[in-house]
Structure 1
Amino acid sequence: MTGNTSQEIIRRLTEALEPTHLQLDNDSAKHAGHMGDDGSGETHWSLDIASAQFVGLNRVQRQRLVYKALGDLMDNPIHALAIRARTTEEPPA
C-alpha cells in the first residue's frame, strides 16, 4: 500500500463489503512508464478480499460488487485492479 488512494480503496471496500480479510498490494512500480501510469505510483493494484457478501455469487458477480464499492475510483485514479474475491469459507490463495 502507499498513500491516499490505497486508504480510500480500503475505506470503501470495508464500508461496503465488511471483509474478514482484505489485502491490497500496490503493483504500480511494475508498470512504471506503461499505459495508465500517471506518475502517482497508485494506479495498478492487486486485491485479495474475503466477505460473507460473496456467498452464492459467481466470480463476475463478486467483481461487480467490488467495482460498485469503489465507484468513481475505477475511472480515475485506478487504471488496473486484479481481484481475488472469495467467501469467508474459501481458502486464501
Structure 2
Amino acid sequence: MGRIAGTLREKLSVAFAPEELEVEDDSARHAGHAGATPGGESHFNIRIRSAAFAGQSRVTRQRMVYRVLAEELAGPVHALSLTALAPDEAR
C-alpha cells in the first residue's frame, strides 16, 4: 500500500470506525488521463461501511467523507469513486 492510500485508510478509520473499509489504488487504469501521475496514487476506489452513515442520504455520506479527505482531494488525489454504506445496507 502506498503512502497516500495509507493516509486515506488511516483518516477514514479514525473518523468513521468502519466495519468494512477497502481502499483501492485504481491509478493504473487511468494512465494517460487527466490528473494521472506517473507514480500512481491519483485515482482511488473506496468502499466503506460504518454506523456513522446510518440514516444519512448518499449525498450527506459523500460530503462527510470528502470533509475528512479534503487535504488529499485538494492535492494528490485527482479522482475518488466512493461507496459509503450503513451496516444494514447491501451493495
* TM-score (normalizing by structure 2): 0.95
Q: Which runs of 5+ in 2 are unaligned?
A: none
| Alignment of 1:83 onto 2:82 | yes
Alignment coverage as a number of residue pairs: 91
**TM superposition shift of 1:24:** 1.0
Supply the distance in 2 between the matched residues of 1:19 and 1:60 (Cα, whole angstroms).
18
**Gapped runs of 5+ residues in structure 1?**
none
Quote the sequence identity (%): 38
Partner of 2:35: 36
4+ residue stretches of structure 1 with deviation over 6 A? none
1:37 aligns to what SS in structure 2? coil
1:28-86 CA distance string (max 9 Å, x none): 00001110012121000111100100011110000011111112101111100000000
Amino acid at match of 1:81: L
Q: What is the 5 A alignment of 1:1-93?
A: 2-91=1-90, 93=91
Distance (whole Å) between structure 1 residues aligned to residue 54 and residue 14 of structure 2: 18
